[in-house]
Structures are given as structure tokens and as C-alpha cells.
Amino acid sequence: MLRKTLLAALCASAVLSLATPASAAPTQTLKSEEGTLEVTTVAKGLAHPWSVAFLPGQQGILVTERSGNLRLVAPDGKLSAPLSGVPKVWAKGQGGLLDVVLSPDFKQDRTVYLSYAEAGEDGKAGTAVGRGQLSEDLKRIERFDVIFRQQPKLSTGNHFGSRLVFDRDGYLFITLGENNDRPTAQDLDKLQGKIVRIYPDGKVPDDNPFVGQKNVRPQIWSYGIRNPQGAALNPWNGTLWENEHGPKGGDELNIVERGKNYGWPLATHGINYSGAPIPEAQGKTADGTVGPHHVWQVSPGLSGMAFYDNDRFKAWQHNVFIGALVSKELIRLQLQGDKVVHEERLLGELDERIRDVRQGPDGYLYVLTDEDDGGLYKIGLK
């Protein structure tokens, strides 16, 4: 049933269209290897926005702000007041209101999923995920309910992860940082440095790899993860891809598999910010761990990720796009099957930290910039 409802939602999304602003929006042209980019400003004035989700039809775009606001960007680019009913967030450091995704059955159930940093004891926090229904007037989230909590709560402001991805069968994957507590990524009794897989209501599937094992969290799907701030489902084969920050160097792109250990902190291509080696690291590889699918020795500061799967811009087909916070670019990776065969850096002229990247229902790319005066931009080829 989960698979059928998700497929129905995907079919419905194919007929959605996103209106361009009624007023003339600022547009600039930039060079790229595949042609001239047209970059249109959809909205400005967002305070450190983190994620976007496209509503059906002409209803607009939901945007999270790290401070705790969920806003609606109308088709004309106007920003709404913050929606009510959003959970209280722990807005410190990298924490706050983070990812937003729609239920695969949104047109029927109007359910919105949010990830966020939640306060715990002793001034620390961890990632939480909840869901509620978007009101018909688009002004509030109703009946919000927490379905997942990272335990224990260990973050003092860093490494929450927090991307949410539904797979083809309707399972929900959540990426979780190790809260800057390195060894916990290898501890299966903790939810730090993990990717978890749950049902949409928070229940644990019986076929998760560690279900029934003593002193192991049953939600865990894979582990050995540092700070995964980008994740997306490969539309051509249904596999989950995630990207994560290395320490100083060694940002990674991984294809996530059931029960696998992705190495952190036993294996890494990076070093401490002080220049010293990672104490736990055995080198770039370690026995029993999976190496990165693709690695950046100099860290771009990877964030949101989107596969391009639309006929509007054929030059981008079978590409994956990743935001970069540190280098302030949009990274285009050309694929042959799953293999990365070419990389291009885009949008450096914006000089803004790119936090999220999504393919819109209209076939354009949309990027969100993490700034005091953050922007939502629409990207196409001329």
C-alpha cells in the first residue's frame, strides 16, 4: 500500500507547475559549460533558510528558517508571516528548524514533516522529527506530533544532520550527525552518526538490519556518518545517496546500503581543524567499512542535494547537484550510471552559502542560500 500511494503521488506531481512571480523578478545570466544560466530571484529576506518544499498547484513553496520559522513563499515571491503550530526549536549554533518535506500522500492528508534541533537536559540538544497537517488557509500546522527523537541528546550546537527522504516504498530515512562526538558514530546503542529508517508514523520496520539485537537501536539503517547535510533518492534506481562534511578536508558522497559502516571516525580523508590527525582514524580506509563513493580532499562544505530528472533541460539529465556552504557554489556532478565522470562549479558569482537544492515541479532547479538576507533562486538554461 505504501508503494502504491507513493507512486500515485509521484504521478500527480508530474502535472504540477510552479508559477513564476507576477512581477518582473531580477534575473541575471551566468556562464556554464552547458550553456548560459538564467538565475531568477524568487524571494529575498529569508533569515538563514534551511530547506524548501513545493506545494501542489499555485499554492507556493514552504521554507524553513533556522531560527524556528516556517514561511510560505507565494507565487509572486511574497513572504508570509511565520506559520503557527511549528514546534519549539533549539536555535543555537547549527541547530534550529531544519528540513521540511511533504508526505507522499500530501494531496490527501496535507501532512508536512519537519526536522529540527530539540532541547534536552544539561543544555544539550539532538535531532527530532515530527509531522502535522497544513491548514487549508496555509497559515498553520495543525496537530503536530513528534515521531522520532535522537537519543541520547549530546550536541552543544553542532552536527545535527537532519535531511528527510522518502523512498519508493514510503519508508522515511533520516540523516543524523554525530553531534561532534566522534566515537558515537560507531556506537550502535546511540543514534549519533546514523541514518535511520522508519515508517511515516515513527514505527520501526521489522526488516531493519539491527532489529532484535541487544543494546542496538532498531531504527538504524547504516552508521559511521559524520555530519550528513544532504540526501536524495536516486530517481533511476531508487538508491539513497547522502553527502556529509568531513573535518578539515574529506567531504564525502556515499551511496547508502543496508547495515553498512561508512567509517567515521575510523576512516577519513580529513584531519582536525588544528592540523592534527583524527585520533581514532586508522587512515583513509579501515577494515569493515565502506569507502566514499566520491570524495573532496578540499572541503566545499556540502549541503542539500538534488538529482536532475526532467526533460526541460536535457543537458542536465543524469546529473546530480549539491550545494556548497564553504566554497559558496553549486556543484554539478555528471554521472554515467552511478559513476561521477565530471564536476563543474556554478553560481560562485552569487557569493552566497548554498544550503538547499531542489528540482522544482516545473523542471527548474531551486537553490536556497544560508545568509542573514537569504534568497530563493530559480536556475535554468537559456
Residues annotated as catalytic (active site), given as ranges:
159
Angle at 17 between CA 16 and CA 21, to 5 degrees: 150
Instruction: From 172, 305, 176, 151, select the one nearest 228 (Cα to Cα).
Output: 176
Q: How far is CA 114 from CA 38, 52, 96, 111, 273, in A?
A: 31, 11, 11, 10, 31
DSSP string, 301-335: -EEEEEEE--SS-GGGTTEEEEEETTTTEEEEEEE
Q: Which residue has the cell 533511476?
A: 236
Q: Is the dihedral of CA 351, 352, 353, 354 positive or negative?
A: negative
- Going by their DSSP bridges, the two strands 125-134 and 111-119 should be labelled as antiparallel
Q: CA–CA separation, 169 vs 300, rounded Å?
A: 32
Which burial class, exposed, middle or buried, applies to 249 when counting CB atoms under 10 A from its CB (0-12, 13-18, 19+)? middle
Count of all residues that appear for the chain in the document: 382
Look up residue 39 and give its three cell numbers. 538565475
DSSP string, 101-133: EE-TTHHHH-EEEEEEEEE-STT-EEEEEEEEE
